[in-house]
Amino acid sequence: MSTEKRIQERDVVIQTIAKLMIPFIQLYGLYVMVGTEGAGGGFQGGTVLAASFILLVVAFGVDKGRMKMPEGWNAVFKSLGLYLYAGVGGLLCIIFSLGKAEYLNYCAIPLAKIIGGPATRGFWVGNIVEVGIGVTVMAAFVSIFYDLVRKEEKKEAKE
Amino acid sequence: MKKLHLLPTVALISVILLGAMFMYVVEDIPAFGDPNSPPNKYVPLPISIDADGLADSLDAGVVPAELKSEIAEIGYTRENHFPSLEEGNYKIDKTEEGWDVLIMKEEKYYPGPEKWYFIKEELGGKLKVYRYSIPVRWQEKTEEETELPNMVTSGLADYRSYDTMYEEAVIFTAAISVIMLLRRREKL
């Protein structure tokens, strides 16, 4: 049984509801992920975003899912999120203070000279660190889901 | 075919650079339980009284009445949800630098002594009182130190940022392991 046939047999109700819901789920994921005044944080927002892609795969099949969220980009996003946290923040602190500042001490970033140290810490934590966490969590969960889906497909093809 | 090789190469290079970054950073992590790291620093209280005669009392394991009234005067009383310094409720440990005052926690299931005050004799013969209690300090200072309205966010990503960073690294490692175990084909 090929993948193409199984997609055509899917329910039109599921596909329509998924089409309606996915944009709102992603918007909600971004709302949870970015900013500090609402509930949640990076881990929760990333999980909600990953759930939207999983819903896409469940409704439309894994081929369309791979078209919307390619695996190469998944690998890039996984590293990019950790970079935003560990790499950019840490490297900026170390480079701009010539190795004097502690690692992850955001007051050493040049932005602190413009808006002050505490405001820099708040901005960095709320808008960059949390987004980095969310991007990594989203890409990791989607990538694990793709790998498990492929295993099932191979089994069906053998039968 | 050239376009297909671009993304895996970028991904591989970024993974290698990230590994090198972590190896560099291991040198920079503060030791666990370091008393000078930001979450463990003492909070000085606006108290300083003459030390003559009080040091002997502290050595004997009793907080003198003058010190108790000073502590009550700055608002550290039972009505404001601070632990009280009643007799038998606390004990004093003498350390090299001063005296640790340990007060019993008012909890039903896990009672036990908790470090609350740190009393130190300054050079001019004055007693200075400091305070431990990381959660209270965190609650009081988070607005001033990070300008974030949300205490949970600053705790997660600023005060405990090493913890969160390595949690993220764990998830990253899990995804890489699943790729290595399950994804067997020519291109990444």
Q: What is the pLDDT along chain A (159 residues), one digit of tens a residue?
A: 455 555 556 688 888 999 999 999 999 999 988 877 777 788 899 999 999 999 999 888 888 888 888 888 888 998 888 888 887 777 777 777 776 677 777 777 778 788 887 888 888 888 888 899 999 999 999 999 988 886 666 666 666
The minimum CA-CA distance between A16 and chain B, rounded to whole Å, is: 31
**Which of A132, A130, A124 has its CA nearest to residue A33?**
A130
The minimum CA-CA distance between A37 and chain B, rounded to whole Å, is: 6
Total beta-carbon pairs less than 8 A apart between chain A and chain B: 127
Nearest to B165 among A78, A86, A137 (CB): A86
Domain ranges across chain B: 25-41+134-188, 43-131
The minimum CA-CA distance between A78 and chain B, rounded to whole Å, is: 7
Contact A83 B18 (CB under 8 A): yes
Residue B94 pairs with which residues in a beta bridge? Answer: B99
Torsion of CA B172, A50, A153, B169, to 10 degrees: 0
Mutate to test the interface with A, among B138, B153, B167, B182 (most CBs of A within 10 A): B153
Nearest to B168 among A37, A72, A85 (CB): A85
Taking only Cα atoms into account, the Rg of chain B, rounded to an integer number of angstroms, comes to 25
Mutate to test the interface with B, among A43, A79, A93, A145 (most CBs of B within 10 A): A79
Interface predicted TM-score of the whole assembly (ipTM), two decimals: 0.83
pLDDT tens for each residue of B25-45: 777 766 666 655 555 567 777
Taking only Cα atoms into account, the Rg of chain A, rounded to an integer number of angstroms, comes to 20
C-alpha separations of A45 from A24, B26, B47, B50 in Å: 13, 29, 46, 55
